[in-house]
Amino acid sequence: MTFSPDGYISTRGDTAPTDFAEALLRGMAPDGGLYMPGAWPTLEPQAWAPGRGYSAMAVDAMSPFIGDALPAGALKRALDRLTAGFIPPEVTPLRRLEDDLYMLELFHGPTAAFKDLAMQLAAALASEALAASGENLTLVTATSGDTGAAAVAAFANTDRIRLIVLHPHERVSAVQRRQMTTVDADNVLNLAVRGDFDDCQRLVKGLLSDETLRAHGRFSSVNSINWARLAGQIPYYVSAVSQLAAMGESRAPVFVVPTGNFGDAFAGVAARKMGLPVAGFVAAVNRNDALARAINHGLYARKAAVETASVSMDVQAPSNFERLVFEASRRDAAATAALFQTFAAEGSVTMPPAFLAAIRAEVSAVSVDEPTTRDQIGHAHAAWGQVVCPHTAVALSAARGVDRSLGPVIALSTAHPAKFGKDVAPVLGFDPDPPKVIRDLGDRAERFEVIDADADAALAAVRGFGG
C-alpha cells in the first residue's frame, strides 16, 4: 500500500514532491500550483463489483493516495466516522428515474450537501496527520454557504485544529447560517462580514498572508483545491458503478456533474484514470459559464459572476480547471503555469488546440439558464415525483440532453432541496420537507461575531479567538 515514489507534484512544476499528509495540510502548493499525484494508481474491477459496501470501496479508491503518510488505520477510522453521519446504508444511493437515466444522491450527510463527503474525511485525516506530527493547524475559509456549513460540521471539536469561517452578513440563507452558527464547539469562530462574498475572500487572503498569525502553528485554507477533498469524492463514482451493476447494468455510464470549481467533476476524471469504466463526463454549469466557453469555444475568459438559483456554482474561474489542463497537456507543468499566469494577468487565455482536443475527449460542457433550471425542478416533480435542488436541476437538464443510446446517464444530485426552499417552493407551490439534520437545528443558540469588511477588524477578531 505504499504510494508511488513520485509522491505529490505541483501543476506548476516548481515544488519538491511531497506526501499525502503535507499536501493535505498545505492545501495549495508553494509555487501557486495545485498538488497532483505523481502517477495514477489502478483500481481492479472487483473494486466496483455489485453489493460492495461504501467503506470497502473507499479504502480501495483512497488508500493508494495515502500510502504510509498517515498512521495505520487512519483511513478506516475516518470512513467509520463518515458513514456514521450518513443515513442510507449505501451512503450515496443511486436512484433510477426512467430508462437509462439515474440520479446519484450525495446529500444524505450532516449538512445535506455533497461537500460533507469530502470534508468529513479531510477533517478526520488532518487530525490524524497532526496527531502524528505534534502540530496545530488553523484553517480559515470564506463561504457563500455550503462550504462553511460542511466545514463547521466536519471540524467542530476536532483535536489540534481551529476553524475560522467568514460569511457575508445577512447574505446566506437562514438554514446555512444556523448550520454554521449553532454548533457548540470552542474551536470554531464564525465571522459575519458586513459585505459580500468577495469581501470575505479578500479578508481570508489577508489573514493567510499575515506572518504574525503563524505563531500558533500551521495556517491554511480549506477550499476545494485541496487534494484530500478531491480524493474523498472518488469513492462515490466507484459506488455508482457498483450500484448500476447491482441493477443489472454493465455498460459504462456518462456522469453529468453540476459544476462550480470543477472539484466534484475532477474526482470523476481521476476515477476514470484509475480504470473505472466511464463513458464520459458532462460538466453542467449555470449562467456562470467560463468553463463551458473554454471547452466549447477555446477561449478561457473571466466575466463578472452573476447570481443564480444554483448559488454554490456561481463561480467564474473554476480553480480545479488547472488540474484538467495539466492532464490535457500530458503533465507539462511549464505550459500549465504559463497558461494560468496569462489568465491571471490578462483575464483571458486562448486554449492550445492540442489541450482542447484532449479535454474534449474527457469532458463536454453545457450551460443551463435560469428559466430552464426552474422548468427542470417542475419536470423532476411531475415526471419522477422527485423534489430537487437548483444545482441538481442544472445537472438533470443537461443529462436529459445526453444521447442515451450508448448507455446509462447518471446526474449527480448535490444538495437536499430543503436547503434551497426559496427557489424550489415558487416552482412547486410547496416547501420541500426538511431532512432531520435541518429540523434538528431548531432554535439552538447561535454564535457569531459581526465585523466590518476591513482587514484590521478581521485580524483583531482572529487574535481574540482563543480556540
* Contact residues for ligand PLP, defined by CB under 6 A: 113-115, 146, 224, 258-265, 312-313, 391, 414-415
CA 379, 435, 283, 261 torsion: positive or negative?
A: positive
- Please state the separation of Cα 341 from the chain's center in Å: 24
Q: How far is the CB of 239 from ligand PLP (least distance, A)?
A: 17
8 A C-beta contact, residue 160 and residue 218: no
Query: Half-sphere exposure of 333 toward its Cβ, with a 13 Å CA cutoff?
Result: 15
Residue with cell 515544488: 15
- Residue with grid cell 426552499, as numbered in its chain: 421
| Shortest Å distance, C-beta 351 to ligand PLP | 19
CB of 292 to ligand PLP, least distance (A): 13
Shortest Å, Cβ 423 to ligand PLP: 12
Q: Are 208 and 98 in contact (CB under 8 A)?
A: no
Under a CB-based contact definition with an 8 Å cutoff, are residues 300 and 317 in contact? no
Asked if 257 contacts 339 with a C-beta cutoff of 8 angstroms, the reply is no
Smallest separation (angstroms) from ligand PLP to the CB of 394: 8
Q: Classify 429 in phi/psi space as left (phi over 0), alpha (psi -120 to 50) or beta.
A: left
Q: How many CB atoms lie within 10 A of CB 407?
A: 20
Output the smallest distance, CB 312 to ligand PLP, in A. Answer: 3
Residues 175 and 150: beta-carbon distance below 8 Å: no
Smaller CB distance to ligand PLP: residue 114 or 326?
114
DSSP secondary structure letter of residue 430: S
Q: Which amino acid is at 263?
A: G
CA-based nearest residue to 427, from 376, 369, 367 = 376
Q: Compute the least distance from the CB of residue 61 to ligand PLP, in Å.
A: 17
Beta bridge partners of 300: 349
Q: What is the DSSP string of 19-76?
A: -HHHHHHH-B-TTS-BEEESS-----GGGG-TT--HHHHHHHHHHHHHTTSS-TTHHH
Question: Which of 312, 397 has the CB closer to ligand PLP?
Answer: 312
- Nearest approach, Cβ of 260 to ligand PLP (angstroms)? 3
Say which amino acid occupies 92.
T
